[in-house]
Amino acid sequence: MTPIPCTLEFHAPCRKAAFIRRIKRFTVEATALTGPDSGEMLKAHTNNTGSMLGLLHPGSTALLSPAANPHRKLKYTLEALDCAGTMVGVNTLTPNRMLYRAWETDAIPEMRGYDHFKKEASVGKSRLDAHLSGPSGELWVECKNVTLVEDDVACFPDAVTERGQKHLRELMSLATTGARVALFFLIQRADGHCFGPADFVDPVYAELFYEAIAKGVEVWPYEAHVTTRGITLGRRLAVVPA
């Protein structure tokens, strides 16, 4: 079956810059590589509060998207960083946006048969990224961004995540009620051959990950291809068995 095209386009083409350093939790510095201000230092917003393990190398190519709001203090957003020739998307809002775009375009087979899509939906005391409903019933989805590849395996998380552990427990609890529940992992790089939990980073998360699968939580790992113009959904990767 030919994949259905599914692309998130940036507000405007990204600028290439040379990464310098992360100066604050939400701010990075980079040197412009193109344009009239080439060679000048730029500051960009990053919404990625993770470690970005293996990506923050001074001199590596960064993709900066111009802010849609011209009055924003930081005029650029860090979208991606080069890692050994592979562009890696680091914007943590992208998975949620891609999930919605994939639903709109029927690009992910697992989401077909659902007519309604609600973002940031509440269930009990929890809030999940998406609730879908329609002829196929109900579906709850939580999204995660993946930037780490180790020994050809795309891995999550890149730092110990108590929040991620909590999400797994909540999804398991929901699955035991008979609800259809899924984890959508968007792997924003194209050099992973399969997907699994990063047990060398967060062994507790890894244990809960496989426990969740055993209790009926679906896992959808999809790779993505990042360019200066946007991010395109790629193939689904196999999950490394426990």
Question: Domain 94-236 maps to which CATH number in 3.40.1350.60, 3.30.310.160, 3.40.50.2030, 3.40.50.300?
Answer: 3.40.1350.60
pLDDT tens per residue, range 40-97? 999 999 999 989 999 999 999 999 999 989 899 999 999 999 999 999 999 999 999 9
> Which CATH number does the domain 8-89 belong to among 2.40.170.20, 2.40.50.580, 3.40.50.300, 1.10.10.10?
2.40.50.580
C-beta neighbour count of 180 within 10 angstroms: 18
What ranges do the domains of the chain cover?
A: 8-89, 94-236
pLDDT of res. 3 = 64
Whether the predicted pLDDT of 1 surpasses 60: no
Q: Confidence class of residue 2 from pLDDT cuts 50, 70 and 90?
A: low
